[in-house]
Amino acid sequence: MFKNCIVIVFLCTKVQCQSNKDLYNGQYGEYNKEYDPSQAKKRPNPGDTDYRTYVYNNRRYGTDPTRYNPYNPNINQPGGFPYNPLPYNPLNPNPLDDQFKYTPNRDPNNPDALFPGVLGGWREDLQGRERRDSRQLKRDIFVTTNYGQVQGFKVYLYDNPDPNSGYRPWLTPVERIQGEVSVFLGIPYARPPVLEGRFKPPRQHPGWQLIQAVDWGPACPQMASLTGDTKGIRDMDEDCLYLNIFSPNTEAGSTAQKYAVMVYIHGGQFSSGASNLFPAHMLAGFYDVVVVSFNYRLGALGFLSTGDENSPGNYGILDQVMAVRWVHENIDAFNGDRNSITLFGPGAGAASAGLLALAPPTRDIVNKVIAQSGSALADWAMIEDKFRVQNTSILLGKYVGCPTDSSWKLVNCLRQSRSIYDLGNAQVSPQVGLIPFGPVLENNFTFPGDEWYEGWRERDWHFLNMMPEELVKRRQFNPALRYMTGVTTQEAAYYIYNNASLAPRYEINENWFNQKVAELVLRYNYTLNPRGVYEAVRYMYTYHPDPHNVSAIRDQYIHLLSDFLYRAPTDKMVKLLLEQNVPVYMYVLNTTVEAYKWPEWRLYPHDIERVFLTGAPFMDQEFFPLKQRIDRQMWTPNDRNMSHFFMKAYSDFARFG
């Protein structure tokens, strides 16, 4: 039954409504005009009172030093604003998140213009720690794409992941360059989805003469509490559709080597995350692959569906479609092989990779998928029930104070008079399912026709009209598809350590466990015999040798959610693909990051692979968010070996299948 399957087991130990007439009259060109501080308040989306990004040479950058901290203290205050029913301020309280260290330098020839990214001075978060000879090394590089010229920069690497190299930078009096990578950050792959583009599919970018891809593009709007320097997301903007490219070599010429392409799709339950949290310098620099990452719209802005033509949904996944197609059309310019594209990512990124491998616009160009702890067959990966999304849209409307008696009124209010902070911070708990927003099946939907909106056609709105399971059974994927997937042994541990009410001991008793099991059963609408389902689940995940042991109850709860959310959907996808004779590779990860010194119950959590895949043990810590920074000498030999192992295993799969 399991032919063509190789199993690898790793056993190493809201805001007032305001007129948007002027905004809409400006159209796209006005929105992206050159930066002018005196006009800063006229350009934000409706309702935004604080905007900390700016436009320079037709591209949006973050950290505008002329603007106040992005999160206005008057927004969402408890008791002082109708859209925050919480007894506390949901915005980020961490004082370190107010320390925006990197600010652009002024252009001496134009006091109103700013130099972004590495053009404004040495950026440790983009280039690593500055060495004595750093400023003498070649920096600027240029390539020409189908959309125009792109300027990037070189990053030099001072450690070597090859275990046979024996090189350790802290053991030598003079650090020596071990490798280099060409980096392009913040290339627009679509028009900004702002103003009239909100709640609509992405549109092709008109192109440019020169884009200076020298800093990360802003992250897409999400919960403010998930952003800030400590977590690595300093900038947030609705104009967020940017991608990043890391290439071993960008020298032009017919003899230039073409590298397999790995496209990283970040996770975050379709509601959080950003591409800059995956610095791919080591993976590209030492393992002969071109790595691409990108942002896509999240939460309500990315996946709001009213179940009809007023907002069909799927905007975030359609962003992904456009990004992957942009890569296929332009990656040759970065010495990538357009005929060898691997999609990979954790959680929602894994589910997205699986969906894109089945979607008509992308399935013919996706050769390989690496699904880390996620599956297109998971309940949360594709919402089939039309009424479920309609109910969620009504809950959102009530939360932000928009009319809900018709979908047209709701969408019009959300589009014209609610800010990215209203929508990003909206806390909506769906009546069915665990996450409120995600990809939606086109089930009995009507779609806007070609004549509805200037610049959009009906076909732009379509993604999938059949569930992924049925598409796999009908072999609606690339005949050359190869699939690799894996899980960790404590996937859902984050449900415990992200629950502040359980701190500091993070132990749970029988009553808490039973309540959560009952909530899970009801949330997934097991209406035939909910009591029977509840009893069966409770029995299966009881630690019978000592059923009252609070540590054992916690471990069993982690196993329950891990099985339900990740392992079972992964197993189902593997079996379906094997029935179609697709080569499948699997792994179970039960090794940890020893440098983190986590407690035993969360040694192997969800997305732990990211630490290894980014080559963190070999990178300057300045490349990573404050919360994730570890001095290089604290990494253990096992951490370094596992990082090399993962980067090589993933890149070998991308190169050879």
Residue 228: DSSP 8-state: B
Indicate whether 52 pLDDT > 90.
no
Backbone angles phi, psi at 551, to 5 degrees: -70, -40
Q: Name, in order, each residue with C-beta under 8 angstroms of 471's C-beta and a sequence gap of 6 or more.
A: 358, 464, 477
How far is 91 from 425, CA to CA, in rounded Å?
8
Residue 38 has a pLDDT of 36
650 pLDDT higher than 60: yes
The pLDDT confidence band at residue 253, using thresholds 50, 70 and 90, is low
Kindly tell me if the per-residue pLDDT of 410 is higher than 50. yes
Give the whole-angstrom CA distance, residue 281 versus residue 284. 5
What does the DSSP 8-state code read for residue 86?
Answer: S
Smallest CA-to-CA distance from 344 within 367, 378, 325 is with 367
Q: What is the pLDDT of residue 109?
A: 61
Residue 428 CB: number of other CB atoms within 10 A? 19
Residue 122 has pLDDT above 50, yes or no: yes
Q: Is the per-residue pLDDT at 159 higher than 50?
A: yes
Tens-place pLDDT, residues 381-393: 999 988 899 999 9
- Cα angle value 285/289/291 (rounded, 5°): 85
Q: How many CB atoms lie within 10 A of CB 109?
A: 6
Taking 90 as the threshold, does the pLDDT of residue 528 lie above it?
A: no
Residue 36: is its pLDDT beyond 70?
A: no
Q: What is the pLDDT of residue 252?
A: 67
Q: Under 8 Å CB-to-CB from 283, ≥6 apart: which residues? A: 246, 262, 289, 291, 613, 614, 615, 647, 650, 651
Does the bond joining 504 to the residue before it have cis omega, within 30 degrees of 0? yes
From 274, 123, 245, 97, select the one nearest 184 (Cα to Cα).
245
pLDDT at 58: 65
Chain length of the chain: 657
DSSP helix/strand/coil, 214: strand
The CA distance from 51 to 419, in Å, is: 11
Find the angle CA(157)-CA(627)-CA(102) to the nearest 5 degrees.
65
Q: Report the pLDDT value the prediction gives residue 83, as an integer from 0 to 100.
A: 40
| CA atoms of 254 and 387, how far apart (whole Å) | 54
* Backbone torsions φ then ψ of 628, nearest 5 degrees: -105, 5
CA distances from 324 to 240, 295, 352, 389, 484 (A): 16, 12, 11, 26, 19
Tokens of 359: 């979607």
> What would the two tokens of residue 276 be?
């800059």
pLDDT band at 168 (very low <50, low <70, confident <90, very high): confident
Question: What Cα–Cα distance (Å) separates residue 550 from each residue in 231, 381, 500, 502, 508?
Answer: 31, 32, 17, 12, 5
Phi/psi for 211 (5° steps) reads: -110, 130
Residue 443, pLDDT score: 79
Tokens of 325: 């197609």
In order of 37, 191, 204, 270, 418, the CA distances from 27 in angstroms are 19, 12, 15, 28, 19
Where is mean pLDDT largest: 395-404, 442-451, 495-504?
Answer: 395-404
Question: Is pLDDT above 50 for 643?
Answer: yes
Average pLDDT over residues 19-33: 30
Band the pLDDT of 75: cuts 50, 70, 90.
very low
For residues 453 and 79, which has the higher predicted lDDT (pLDDT)?
Answer: 453
Contacts of 634 (CB under 8 A, 6+ apart): 595
pLDDT score of 617: 94
252: CB partners within 8 A, 6+ apart: 143
The two tokens of residue 198 are 């909100």
211 pLDDT exceeds 80? yes
In angstroms, what is the C-alpha Rg of the chain?
A: 24
Q: How many CA atoms lie within 13 A of 426 on its CB side?
A: 33
Q: In this structure, how many other beta carbons lie within 10 angstroms of the beta carbon of residue 430?
A: 17
User: Residue holding tokens 């960790």?
Assistant: 488
Mean pLDDT of the region 46-64: 55
Better-predicted residue by pLDDT, 252 or 316:
316
pLDDT top residue among 628 and 41: 628
Average pLDDT, integer, range 299-325: 96
Task: Show the domains of the chain with their CATH numbers.
Answer: 10-110+137-473 (3.40.50.1820)
The rounded distance, in Å, linking the Cα atoms of 418 and 397 is 10
Average of pLDDT values for 561-568?
94
* pLDDT of residue 104 exceeding 80: no
β-pairing verdict for 584-589 and 105-107: unpaired
Give Cβ neighbours of residue 464 (< 8 Å, ≥ 6 apart).
355, 358, 359, 382, 439, 441, 442, 471
- Of residues 346 and 523, more confidently modeled: 346
Q: Tens of pLDDT along 609-635?
A: 999 999 999 999 999 988 888 888 899
Say if CB 201 and CB 318 are below 8 A apart.
Answer: yes
Could you say which DSSP state residue 120 is in? G
The model's pTM is 0.86
Which residues, 6 or more positions from 484, have their beta carbon under 8 angstroms from its beta carbon?
368, 369, 370, 371, 584, 585, 586, 587, 653
Q: What is the mean pLDDT of residues 594-600?
A: 89
Question: For all residues of the chain together, what is the average pLDDT?
Answer: 83
Q: Is the pLDDT of residue 80 over 50?
A: no
**Reduced to 3 states, what is the DSSP secondary structure of residue 41?**
helix
Q: Is the pLDDT of residue 282 over 60?
A: yes
Report whether pLDDT(26) > 70: no
Query: 21 pLDDT exceeds 50?
Result: no
In the predicted model, what is the mean pLDDT of residues 589-613?
91
pLDDT for 422 beyond 60: yes
Of 65-74, 164-173, 370-379, 422-431, give the range with the top mean pLDDT: 370-379
The predicted pLDDT at position 524 comes to 76
Residue with tokens 């028009």: 191
Find the angle CA(617)-CA(623)-CA(626) to the nearest 5 degrees. 95
- Report the pLDDT value the prediction gives residue 254, as an integer from 0 to 100: 56
Phi, psi of 7 (to 5 degrees): -100, 120
The lowest-confidence range among 114-118, 515-519, 622-626 is 114-118
* pLDDT recorded at residue 251: 79
